[in-house]
Amino acid sequence: MRSNSECRGVPCAEVRDRRRCLLASLVLLLSLAAPAQQPSGQPGAPVSTSAPPAPAPPLVLIDPAHGGADPGAMLNVAIPEKDVNLSVARRLRQDLVARGVAVQLVREADGTFPADQRAAMANATRPALYLAIHSSSTGGGLTVFSAMLPPAVQGRGPFLDWSTAQSLAVQRSRTARDVIVSAIQKTGFPVHGLIAALPPLNNITVPALAVEIAPPTGEIAQLASNDYQQMICAALANAVAGAMPSLKANPKP
């Protein structure tokens, strides 16, 4: 006669342990196999069966020039250039974002950034366009500058000379400058396109421009006025957004 603690000659406790072990192995196998059956996107995310995901909007890196220990020009006794530049940059960001352009600012507050650091940031971010903002008492309206460099046909090897890094992109910079100037001219606002030896334009490997804003009638206080800044930023944002199709994605250097 078999005792209650034996199942076909094997102790029942041992049989139960084997069953538990088999069950645990089965659960483990199933849990490992489950993710492999998910679609290649985010687990649990809805799977699109028709259109591919929308491409990321083009990025514009706006650089409010000067800042921190470098005030730029003292436009008058109370208005340093760095403050006007930052204010215009923030407004321009709003206007560009409203037009479907992604924007990043080099500085969000009053901080010191050397020119080389600004160039390094642009080269690491690789935006569709780098746009430095300056303001001045000279001239009237807007002046858009591209680098003062002759275009290079091709790079010399995998490395670019820091002082002429822009030469491979300068032709695209000039094209973008001309498109922007032409678009603003249509609004009747005074605008000119020029070249300038202005740091850090020469050190940037993507299309790079600088904009200098001047009061239309020579009154410096206008530069700090909301109305004038709003008008300038709206015109500039329209023009920059219009120039985006001509600025194709930047290839990796």
Q: Would you tell me which residues interact with another protein (CB under 8 A)?
A: 66, 70, 72-74, 81, 134, 136-140, 143, 145, 148-150, 163, 192-199, 202, 210, 212, 214, 218
Neighbours of 125 (CB within 10 A): 14
Of 210 and 244, the one with the shorter C-beta distance to another protein is 210
Q: Which is nearer to another protein, 99 or 192 (CB)?
A: 192
Closer residue to another protein in complex, CB, 149/232: 149
Query: From CA 49, how far away is CA 39, in angstroms rounded?
Result: 11
Question: Could you tell me whether strands 10-11 and 6-7 are parallel, antiparallel, or unpaired per DSSP bridges?
Answer: antiparallel
Of the pair 201, 240, the CB lying nearest another protein is at 201
Q: Give SS3 for 7.
A: strand
Q: Which residues pair with 149 in a beta bridge?
A: none
| Min dist. Cβ of residue 202 to another protein (A) | 8
**Pairing verdict, β 141-147 and 208-214:** antiparallel
Q: Could you tell me the smallest distance in angstroms from the CB atom of residue 158 to another protein? A: 23
Which residue from 200, 209, 156, 151 is spatially nearest to 178, judged by alpha carbons?
209
**Nearest CA-CA partner of 152 in 172, 175, 132:** 172
> Is the Cβ of residue 167 or residue 250 nearer to another protein in the bound state?
167
3-state secondary structure of 6: strand
Task: State the minimum distance, in angstroms, from the CB of residue 126 to another protein.
Answer: 23
- Residue 63 CA to residue 89 CA, distance in Å, equals 7
Strands 129-135 and 10-11: unpaired
CB of 141 to another protein, least distance (A): 10
Encoded tokens for 20: 């538990």
The amino acid occupying position 129 is L
Closer by beta carbon to another protein, 73 or else 105: 73
**Residue among 197, 81, 182, 189 nearest 146 (CA):** 197
Shortest distance, CB of residue 190 to another protein, whole angstroms?
A: 9
In the complex, minimum distance from the CB of residue 39 to another protein, in angstroms, rounded to a whole number: 53
Closest CB to another protein among residues 28, 194 = 194
| Cβ atoms within 10 Å of 36's Cβ, excluding its own | 6
CB of residue 35 to another protein, shortest distance in Å: 56
